[in-house]
Structure formats: C-alpha cells, structure tokens
Amino acid sequence: MQIEARTQAAIIDGKAIAARVRAQAAAAARELAASGVIPGLAVVLVGEDPASQIYVRNKGRRTIEAGMRSFEHKLPARTSQDELLALVRQLNGDPAVHGILVQMPLPKHIDADRIVAALDPDKDVDGLHPLNAGRIVLGKPGLVPCTPQGCVILARHVLGEDLSGLDVVVIGRSILVGKPVALLFQNANCTVTMAHSRTRNLPALCRRADILVAAAGRREMVRGDWIKPGATVIDVGINRIAGADGRSRLVGDVAFEEARQVARAITPVPGGVGPRTIACLLLNTVQAARTIAGRRA
C-alpha cells in the first residue's frame, strides 16, 4: 500500500492526561472527605515479583498523594489460597477499605479466578469480578478495568467526547484488555471489530480502523502500511527487548516510527497507556467509596 506523505502524528501524552485524571480523583476524594468518608485502597501483593513490587509501591504513593488511605498487604510467595481468601474476606468487611486490588499474576498454586470471585464486587477496583464484567456487557454502570478505560479516555482526548459511528479495530481478545476494550468502544456507539491470533488478513482489517487498538503483546507487529491515514493508534502492548547497547528497553505492538508517518495521533510506549492505569484506579476507588457510602446510608 502506498503511504501518502503527511505531517507526523501527534504523540498522545499519556503522562499529562494521567496527571489530570489524578487531580480529578483527588478533588473527588476531598469532597468525600468533607462528608466524613476518606476513600481507602488496599493492595495485596503475593510473592516477590520485582515488576509487581514497583507497581504496588507506585500505587501506594499515588493513592496517598490523592488524599486517600493506602493499605498494603505483602504476603510471602508460599501463602496458601485459603490464607489469601481469608484476607480478601477481611478486607471485604473492613469499613475503611473501599477498593481492593489483588496484584496479578498470582503464584501458580493459587486459583486467581477464585480470589477474584471472592471480592466484594463494589470494592473490585480492577473491574475483574464476573459481576462487573457482566455490567460492561450489559452497558450498565459498574467498576471498569483500568487499562481498557484508559484506551477510551485517550481516544476521546484526541477525537472528542462523541465517538459515535467510528470504526474501531481491537487486536487481542483477552479478558484483561481486548474484550473489555472492545465492549467499552461498542458502548460508546463505535462499530467494533475484534481481531485475534486466528484473524485472516489482519493488515487489511486494520486499514479500516479510525481507531486502532493494539493489545496482542507482539513487538512492533503493526506496521505503518496497516494504518489508515489519519487514524488514531492506541498501543497497549508492552514488550521488553534488548537494545543495541545491551540494555533492555520497552517497545509496543506498533512500529512507532512507521506508524507516526501515517496516523493522526499515536500513544508512545512507554508513556502512553501505562500511566493512565493508576490514575483510573484512583477514580475507581473514589467511585467505590461513593457506592459503599450510599449502601450504608
């Protein structure tokens, strides 16, 4: 396919957008505090995974900065499923805790589905409980997973609030990312096609997209000539590769330099979708605190 010469795409500044969302969450937390409710987020980490430890530390810091309470539960990797279930039940019943996030992945001997199913759905700020997944399918309000929510917010940042009628192609159909992303864009009145590893002629399909979301976890798979000129490209993929200097670096699922010659706007990796995730988590915690306060009233 011939790519027209165009000006380069705008790079979507995920960090700046995340800062705005965190400020919004902090303002909502102040409002709740004035009515006597300080939103509290409990994060549970099982094991010593270094990436997860960094995420948990950042979440705790951002929670406190937003004027909320942060509770961290760090458990050893040998923690049994029953011990973890007991902690989840304790947090479900704790009135100071409005949001519970169990950091994934969990050690292999723990059934993650059972842990998620044990969460109070109103405190499930990761939006993973089957009841919250069902609410997205039904188009009802509920707690929405943070990364998919971030994709819609980034698209609206570029294209405006009304996304009605736009063609969206989502590459990836995982429960954590692809499926909820597709449903959220559908709820925003877009025409959505979900692609996956068995999809035929993926490049041609992608070329139809006004909004292309790449969430396959395949480094730089989406090439410049897969992109419709003027499309908005949201790259969710995070792939670690060895750089020429021997140090590792992160790249997305989209060949960034090629794509930015064709797209209207594109998220970089890192610095695009990632920073939005914690910001959405804070918003979800505020939303959970409101719901739970309403439940008690």
H/E stretch holding 156 reads helix 146-159
The nearer residue to ligand NAD, 194 or 288, going by C-beta atoms, is 194
Does 105 sit behind a cis peptide bond, omega within 30 degrees of 0 on the bond before it?
Answer: yes
Rounded to a whole number of angstroms, the minimum distance from the CB of residue 172 to ligand NAD is 3
120, 122, 126, 235: the catalytic one is 126
The nearer residue to ligand NAD, 97 or 215, going by C-beta atoms, is 215
Rounded to a whole number of angstroms, the minimum distance from the CB of residue 261 to ligand NAD is 22
Per CB under 6 A, the list member of 27, 48, 197, 257 interacting with ligand NAD is 197
CA-closest candidate to residue 291, choices 143, 119, 145, 96:
143
Per CB under 6 A, the list member of 144, 154, 177, 222 interacting with ligand NAD is 177
Alpha carbon 147 to chain centroid, angstroms: 1
CA-closest candidate to residue 196, choices 169, 232, 226:
169
Q: Which two tokens stand for residue 143?
A: 């707690």
Per CB under 6 A, the list member of 40, 142, 180, 274 interacting with ligand NAD is 274
Rounded to a whole number of angstroms, the minimum distance from the CB of residue 16 to ligand NAD is 16
What is the DSSP code (8-state) at residue 255?
-
Q: Which of positions 110-139 make contact with ligand NAD (CB under 6 A)?
A: none
* Residue 268 sits in the site that holds ligand NAD (CB under 6 A): no
CA-closest candidate to residue 113, choices 101, 93, 100, 128:
128
Alpha carbon 33 to chain centroid, angstroms: 26
Per CB under 6 A, the list member of 20, 196, 240, 249 interacting with ligand NAD is 196
> Cα(169)–Cα(181) distance, rounded to whole angstroms?
10
Active site residue 103: yes
DSSP 50-61: HHHHHHHHHHHH
Rounded to a whole number of angstroms, the minimum distance from the CB of residue 232 to ligand NAD is 16
Q: Of the listed pieces 24-32, 81-89, 92-100, 216-224, which binds ligand NAD according to CB under 6 A?
A: 216-224
Per CB under 6 A, the list member of 11, 33, 159, 202 interacting with ligand NAD is 202
Per CB under 6 A, the list member of 40, 99, 172, 180 interacting with ligand NAD is 172
Output the CA torsion sign for 83, 85, 87, 93.
Answer: negative
> Cα(195)–Cα(214) distance, rounded to whole angstroms?
10
The nearer residue to ligand NAD, 40 or 180, going by C-beta atoms, is 180
> Cα(175)–Cα(108) distance, rounded to whole angstroms?
18
> Residue numbers of the site for ligand NAD (CB under 6 A)?
147, 171-174, 176-178, 195-197, 199, 202, 215-218, 221, 236-239, 273-274, 277
Residues annotated as part of the active site: 59, 103, 126
